[in-house]
Homo-oligomer: A and B are copies of this chain.
Amino acid sequence: MLNSLLQKAQLSQAVLAALSSERRNHLLIAMADQVEAHSDAILKANQNDVDRARQDGLDGPRLARLGLSQSKLKTFATGLRELAQIQDPLGRGDRWTLANGLILDRVRVPLGVIGLIYESRPGVTLEATALALKSGNAILLKGGREALSTNQELVELWRSTLAHRGLPQDLVQLISDTTRTAARELMHLTGLDLLIPRGGASLIRTVADEATVPVIETGVGNCHLYVDQHADIEMALNILLDGKIGNPSVCNALETVLINQAIVDAFIPRAVETLKPYGVIWHGDQDVLARIPEAIAAQESDWADEYLDVQIAAKVVSGLDQALEHIQRYGTRHSESIVTEHYPTGHEFLSRVDAAVVYWNASTRFSDGHEFGFGAEVGISTQKLHVRGPMGLEALTTWKTLAYGTGQTRDLGTSNSSPA
């Protein structure tokens, strides 16, 4: 079934790829207008989804991710207009010339057709699609069952906007089958240029393990804050608060705080006080339990898993080495932060931590496509190949090398080259 969708997407993508960046940008602006003009219909469809999800007993955080509002739609429309202003990732490149005069031009081109498997958040249907189209790609969307009505409404809006501008509607296609069978088919859809899973850890693991098409793993963020003995305590408290509160359910939230033993008595009471108004539950090792009576004894899973909730794990460490060891063992290579005024310690932390983004005296919350200045994001890559960290437009492109010659050949038999 998905094969015919893919073929339609491929044919449509060839048309889009030949379009000027001006026309791709105008498409996003037109869609922003449509989102605002049709906000009532979108919110009505969304209300249907939310009502049904509530009946089905969806938990609070997932309900929160599912729900849209006039102000959220306004924000998305503004985002689409801002994305239209960002520099086109296509057509730029590097040129070099070989000794024999052959000119090599390495130029950015679209990936082709991108698939997205995602849960709850219908905003992804706007943001990821906008990024895909701006970078010259077609997109196949497989959203969650709970967001089906909203996604159908938004995809129809994309398609009518495309049609109105004389562009192929099949640049944006929603896979209406929300079963696992369709997801599996997508994971093995030969010819799909990229599949991005966006959602919980288990969804991402399944896609990464099962897919035979290219995948970028996103978003599992077991992020740590290491409060060094030379930390500015006030700063550490602000970064802790920001990392835990104001949307704890997303991947750039803090999950564990590692505290240098030299400052534990100065830090812990104030940290407890700082987080108390938000009802944060502490889990800790023996040193923490001795200082926070209401804390729960931490299990292995407290170190290994994301809470995505108002809970935090805390551990007292002897120094930088033990902190690095803990992060190496339990981190998900997403975002890690140190607070210290001591140059050698901060320098070593940045150099030795293996993660997409490593912070020195700043909040992990900046691991985000908007904050990074990418205009939007498709997700945050926790893998090392192709793209690492927030994925913007460039993550949805590849390179092609164009070679301009005047008849160049090797000197037969004298080449040392041996490609396999």
Contact = CB atoms under 8 A, between A and B. Distances in A.
Interface of A: 14, 18, 75, 79, 96, 98, 102, 104, 111-112, 118, 121, 123-124, 193-194, 198-199, 208-209, 212, 214, 216, 218-219, 221, 232, 235, 238-239, 241-242, 245-247, 250-252, 350-352, 354-363, 365-373, 377, 379-380, 383-386, 388-390, 398-410, 412-413, 415-420
Given A79-B416, A123-B418, A420-B219, A402 B98 contact: no
Contact of A362 (B199, B360, B405): B405
B384 A385 contact: no
Q: Kindly name the residue among A118, A362, A373, A398 whose own CB sees the greatest number of chain B CB atoms within 10 A.
A: A362
B366 A420 contact: no
Contact of A403 (B218, B242, B359): B359
A365 B118 CA distance: 43
A407 B360 contact: no
Contacts of A123: 418
Contact of A420 (B111, B199, B241, B384): B199
A410 B363 contact: yes
Nearest to A118: B420
Contacts of A214: 383-385
B402 A398 contact: no
Contact of A386 (B18, B251, B370, B386): B386
Contacts of A377: 419
Nearest to A401: B357
Contacts of A385: 111, 194, 214, 216, 385-386, 398
B405 A121 contact: no
B242 A412 contact: yes
Give 7 closest A-B pairs by Cβ, nearest first. A362-B405, A242-B409, A384-B398, A235-B407, A386-B386, A368-B417, A385-B386
Q: Kindly name the residue among A241, A245, A405 whose own CB sees the greatest number of chain B CB atoms within 10 A.
A: A405
14 contacts: A14-B352, A98-B373, A111-B384, A214-B385, A239-B409, A242-B410, A246-B415, A358-B402, A358-B403, A360-B402, A360-B405, A371-B410, A371-B417, A389-B401
B420 A250 contact: yes
Contact of A418 (B121, B208, B409): B121
Given A360-B403, A366-B408, A420 B193 contact: no
A49 to B, nearest CB: 17
